[in-house]
A and B are shown apart, each in its own frame.
Chain A
Amino acid sequence: MAGIIWFIPLLPFIGFVVALLLGKRFGGLGSKLSTVILGICILLSFYSVYLVKVNGAFSVEMSWYITDNLEISVGMLADGLSTMMLVVVSVVSFLVHLYSMGYMHGDSRFWLYFAYLQLFSASMLGLVLANNYLQMYIFWELVGLCSYLLIGFWYEKQSASDAAKKAFLTTRIGDVGMMIGILLLFLSTGSMAFSDIFTMAGNGDIQPAILTASAILLFCGAIGKSAQFPLHVWLPDAMEGPTPVSALIHAATMVAAGVYLVGRSFPLFSSSQQAMMVVAVVGAFTAIFAATIAVVQTDIKKILAYSTISQLGYMMFALGIGAYVAGLFHLMTHAFFKALLFLGSGSVIHATGTQDITEMGGLAKKMKITTWTFVIGALSLSGFPLLAGFWSKDEILGFAYGSQRYVFFAIGAFTAFLTAFYMFRLIFVVFAGKQSHASAHAHESPKAMTIPLIILAVLAIVAGYIGAPFINKEASFGEFITGGMHIEEVEFNFIPMIISVIVALTGILLAYLMYGKKVIRTDWFYRYVKPYYRVLVNKYYMDEFYSKSVIRPGIKLANLVNWFDKRVIDGFINLVGKVTVLISKGVHIFDTGVIDGFVNWTANETYNSGKRLRLLQTGNISGYAIVMFAVLAVYVIYLIIRAAF
């Protein structure tokens, strides 16, 4: 029954083809079919989890092409990590499909949207199931393509099409690094398969320098895809896409692919101290960097986008310090509650028609389901005790504390504080307080949108329990996901747990005092540290920095190259063309004059001589007879003379 996992990516791909070819004609049918397909994928995913749980990891493989010294195969690898991702991807994707049926209703390219979603689901499921780097890279680029298509789905808007290009190009930068990393690994090991490479890395068969270099290059891909500093700039702009897309691709699944890559390559990374350090530092810096920006943003989706970047950084630094289980556990819980938050924000945007939180307010009375589910998501994200985010975040902090990496612990705790603060700033501004003009006409969203919210809210509460510390170790999430791999472990400790609860509650309380009760002036920060505030509002001037340092020189270089192309290359080619024309003119003269002349001369001469010769034919029979006898006579005379002498 192992072969059934081929169908997990294949089914949505079939759905994509069907929706693409027939969707336009049959309208809403494509969306229903897509949703049903994802439903089947959920069942298959759970079935594969069951298979892994019972029989252990398994894989199916077949040859793609073989040459003398190279065999490339395609295969599906189902182990704890990939089946966990399968469940996350298929569940979130299913719910987003369901939600989109309400959210995108009436869009002119409704059918195309579902075709893209199907393609994305197929690619993402294929990505997590890949058993070698080449296959993973192919799917990695495919999800990037889907991201591009869906960010720019409303391409009539200039900002959306710009954002799509930005996302694609920015992630490409990381992908190039990843490709070099894969090739480097291939050159040093002669294989693309995870199993071969990890075995060799574990045995120390790869030179340490190459190991570190290739791990860091792979991490470049993760930096691009998971929007880590310094390639994080595309993710906030990617919010131009439809909100369900933001929830699926830019919060729950695709951006987590970078974390998945590091998690999948963990045996490789853990063999290199330096690579782990790079991952940890980049992750930790991104976590706190993005969290500070999120504090001052006023666009509801941008806040969530920066929050996503920050949380992805959290996962990265967890993996970087060796907290393999905790990082991937956080990936899973984050996928659920961040998808919930994005879908909730989509519901809010749907109702109010604006994304600016300062134009909202008092929505709690109008939209009960949205409000409550959103609050659950926010609590979960903030690490409120006993919700999903609490368990996973606590595990990361506990590991950092337990392994005595206090700097990372401090950064994590401070980020957790900021997270709680900005999430509840958002909640108090949007849902509490006076009703604004925009929210006066708001109403609860249709059932297709609220049902996914409720399901995700339930998941955001309970998803953490499978990895909670009091669960029996044999049946735990960690045991399932490591699959026998040796991972550093730390003793469970109450101190980091208490600290994380305290910082989360402090953040919520501060947000309440500032934006709920309004006992602390909301502009004190603006007033007292104005320069830093300005820096934050402008997102650390990263876009401006890239614009000045990369884009403008890039455009200048492009102009220069263009000039060179036009003047030098084209000039040379034009010169060649002109010379050729001249030569052919000469050849033309020779041709018409000499060659044709000779041929024509022959013909003319034949004609003229014929014209003269025909005069011999007088038609006078006596004349002919005279000639005849004269010739005969001459011949006879000749014979006589010859006989005589």
Chain B
Amino acid sequence: MQYQLAPDLKLIYFLAVSAVLFGIGIYGVLTRRHLVHILLSIELILNAVLINLIAFSSFSTPDKMTGQMFAVFVIVVAACEVGVGLAIILSIYRRRKSVDINNMNILKW
């Protein structure tokens, strides 16, 4: 299926949106203390990457759908990941009555 992008829609716009989204995701991962928030921020990072993939794919090989296909796979994997992640978070909550990341410091010496 052939489709045409608007001629003044440049690659840099996509990349900019992706970079902003990535930055928000990083910020969220680094500053949030709630586990669910961190998980959501990671989703943001993933989405930033997907935008990148699709953008590059559309601009470099417009006649192929490789980037889009890749994005669909990543979304599926991300859904699974979120499912597992939420299960782990639930399990942690049941055990410790908390999902605050600062209370989880047993991963050390």
Number of interface residues of A (CB under 8 A): 11
**Chain A 593-643 interface residues, beta-carbon cutoff 8 Å to B:** 614-615, 617-622, 625-626, 629
Task: Kindly state the separation between the CA atoms of A618 and B102 in the bound complex, as whole angstroms.
Answer: 11
Q: Provide the residues of chain A in CB contact with B31, threshold 8 Å.
A: 622
Verify B30–A618 contact, CB threshold 8 A. no
B6 contacts partner chain A, Cβ-Cβ < 8 Å: no
Verify B26–A618 contact, CB threshold 8 A. no
**A620-B102, A621-B101, A621-B104 known; A614-B30 Cβ under 8 A:** no
Task: Kindly state the separation between the CA atoms of A204 and B78 in the bound complex, as whole angstroms.
Answer: 119
Which of chain B's residues has its CB closest to A611's CB?
B109
Q: Provide the residues of chain B in CB contact with A629, threshold 8 Å.
A: 26, 29-30
Q: Shortest CB–CB separation between residue B46 and chain A, in angstroms?
A: 15
Could you say which of B26, B29, B30, B108 contacts A619, with CB atoms under 8 Å apart? Answer: B108
Verify A620–B105 contact, CB threshold 8 A. yes
Verify A625–B30 contact, CB threshold 8 A. yes
**A629-B26, A629-B30 known; A619-B101 Cβ under 8 A:** no
**Chain B 31-55 interface residues, beta-carbon cutoff 8 Å to A:** 31, 33
Task: Kindly state the separation between the CA atoms of A619 and B105 in the bound complex, as whole angstroms.
Answer: 4
Could you say which of B26, B30, B108 contacts A617, with CB atoms under 8 Å apart? Answer: B108
Task: Kindly state the separation between the CA atoms of A626 and B27 in the bound complex, as whole angstroms.
Answer: 10
B5 contacts partner chain A, Cβ-Cβ < 8 Å: no
Verify A614–B29 contact, CB threshold 8 A. no
B107 contacts partner chain A, Cβ-Cβ < 8 Å: yes
How many A-B residue contacts, CB cutoff 8 Å?
Answer: 29
Number of interface residues of B (CB under 8 A): 13
Verify A622–B104 contact, CB threshold 8 A. no
Verify B104–A617 contact, CB threshold 8 A. no
B106 contacts partner chain A, Cβ-Cβ < 8 Å: yes
Q: Provide the residues of chain B in CB contact with A619, threshold 8 Å.
A: 104-108
**Chain B 18-76 interface residues, beta-carbon cutoff 8 Å to A:** 26, 29-31, 33
Q: Provide the residues of chain A in CB contact with B29, threshold 8 Å.
A: 625, 629
Verify A618–B101 contact, CB threshold 8 A. no
Q: Provide the residues of chain A in CB contact with B30, threshold 8 Å.
A: 622, 625-626, 629
Q: Shortest CB–CB separation between residue A441 and chain B, in angstroms?
A: 107
Task: Kindly state the separation between the CA atoms of A621 and B109 in the bound complex, as whole angstroms.
Answer: 14
Q: Shortest CB–CB separation between residue B84 and chain A, in angstroms?
A: 17
Q: Shortest CB–CB separation between residue A546 and chain B, in angstroms?
A: 93
Q: Provide the residues of chain B in CB contact with A621, threshold 8 Å.
A: 101, 104, 107
Verify A622–B101 contact, CB threshold 8 A. yes
Q: Provide the residues of chain A in CB contact with B105, threshold 8 Å.
A: 618-620
Q: Shortest CB–CB separation between residue A631 and chain B, in angstroms?
A: 13
Which of chain B's residues has its CB closest to A613's CB?
B109
Which of chain A's residues has its CB closest to B26's CB?
A629
Q: Shortest CB–CB separation between residue A69 and chain B, in angstroms?
A: 83
Q: Provide the residues of chain A in CB contact with B109, threshold 8 Å.
A: 614-615, 617
Which of chain A's residues has its CB closest to B32's CB?
A622
Task: Kindly state the separation between the CA atoms of A210 and B57 in the bound complex, as whole angstroms.
Answer: 117
**A622-B30, A625-B29 known; A617-B107 Cβ under 8 A:** yes
Task: Kindly state the separation between the CA atoms of A619 and B29 in the bound complex, as whole angstroms.
Answer: 16
Which of chain A's residues has its CB closest to B101's CB?
A621
Task: Kindly state the separation between the CA atoms of A620 and B101 in the bound complex, as whole angstroms.
Answer: 8
Task: Kindly state the separation between the CA atoms of A621 and B88 in the bound complex, as whole angstroms.
Answer: 15
Task: Kindly state the separation between the CA atoms of A619 and B108 in the bound complex, as whole angstroms.
Answer: 4
Task: Kindly state the separation between the CA atoms of A629 and B105 in the bound complex, as whole angstroms.
Answer: 20
Q: Provide the residues of chain A in CB contact with B101, threshold 8 Å.
A: 621-622
Q: Shortest CB–CB separation between residue B28 and chain A, in angstroms?
A: 11
**B89-109 interface bits toward A, Cβ cutoff 8 Å, 1 = contact, 0 = none:** 000000000000110111111
**Chain A 160-209 interface residues, beta-carbon cutoff 8 Å to B:** none
Q: Provide the residues of chain B in CB contact with A626, threshold 8 Å.
A: 30
Q: Shortest CB–CB separation between residue A627 and chain B, in angstroms?
A: 11
Q: Provide the residues of chain B in CB contact with A620, threshold 8 Å.
A: 102, 105
Which of chain B's residues has its CB closest to A610's CB?
B109
Q: Shortest CB–CB separation between residue B48 and chain A, in angstroms?
A: 13
Which of chain B's residues has its CB closest to A621's CB?
B101
Q: Provide the residues of chain A in CB contact with B108, threshold 8 Å.
A: 614, 617-619
Q: Provide the residues of chain B in CB contact with A617, threshold 8 Å.
A: 107-109
Q: Shortest CB–CB separation between residue A298 and chain B, in angstroms?
A: 107
Q: Provide the residues of chain B in CB contact with A618, threshold 8 Å.
A: 105, 108
Task: Kindly state the separation between the CA atoms of A625 and B32 in the bound complex, as whole angstroms.
Answer: 11
Q: Provide the residues of chain A in CB contact with B104, threshold 8 Å.
A: 619, 621
Which of chain A's residues has its CB closest to B27's CB?
A629
**Chain A 268-309 interface residues, beta-carbon cutoff 8 Å to B:** none
Which of chain B's residues has its CB closest to A617's CB?
B108
Q: Shortest CB–CB separation between residue B17 and chain A, in angstroms?
A: 18
Q: Shortest CB–CB separation between residue A361 and chain B, in angstroms?
A: 114
Task: Kindly state the separation between the CA atoms of A617 and B106 in the bound complex, as whole angstroms.
Answer: 10
Which of chain B's residues has its CB closest to A629's CB?
B26
Q: Shortest CB–CB separation between residue A610 and chain B, in angstroms?
A: 10
Q: Shortest CB–CB separation between residue A451 and chain B, in angstroms?
A: 105
Task: Kindly state the separation between the CA atoms of A618 and B30 in the bound complex, as whole angstroms.
Answer: 16
Task: Kindly state the separation between the CA atoms of A499 and B102 in the bound complex, as whole angstroms.
Answer: 141
**Chain A 516-553 interface residues, beta-carbon cutoff 8 Å to B:** none
Task: Kindly state the separation between the CA atoms of A617 and B105 in the bound complex, as whole angstroms.
Answer: 10
Q: Provide the residues of chain A in CB contact with B33, threshold 8 Å.
A: 622
Q: Provide the residues of chain B in CB contact with A615, threshold 8 Å.
A: 109
16 A–B contacts, CB within 8 A, in A order: A614-B108, A617-B108, A617-B109, A619-B104, A619-B105, A619-B106, A619-B107, A619-B108, A620-B102, A620-B105, A621-B104, A622-B31, A622-B33, A622-B101, A625-B30, A626-B30
Q: A622-B31, A622-B33 are in contact. List 16 more A-B contacts (CB 8 A).
A: A614-B109, A617-B109, A618-B105, A619-B104, A619-B105, A619-B106, A620-B105, A621-B101, A621-B107, A622-B101, A625-B29, A625-B30, A626-B30, A629-B26, A629-B29, A629-B30
The 5 closest A-B pairs by CB, nearest first: A619-B108, A619-B105, A614-B109, A617-B108, A619-B107
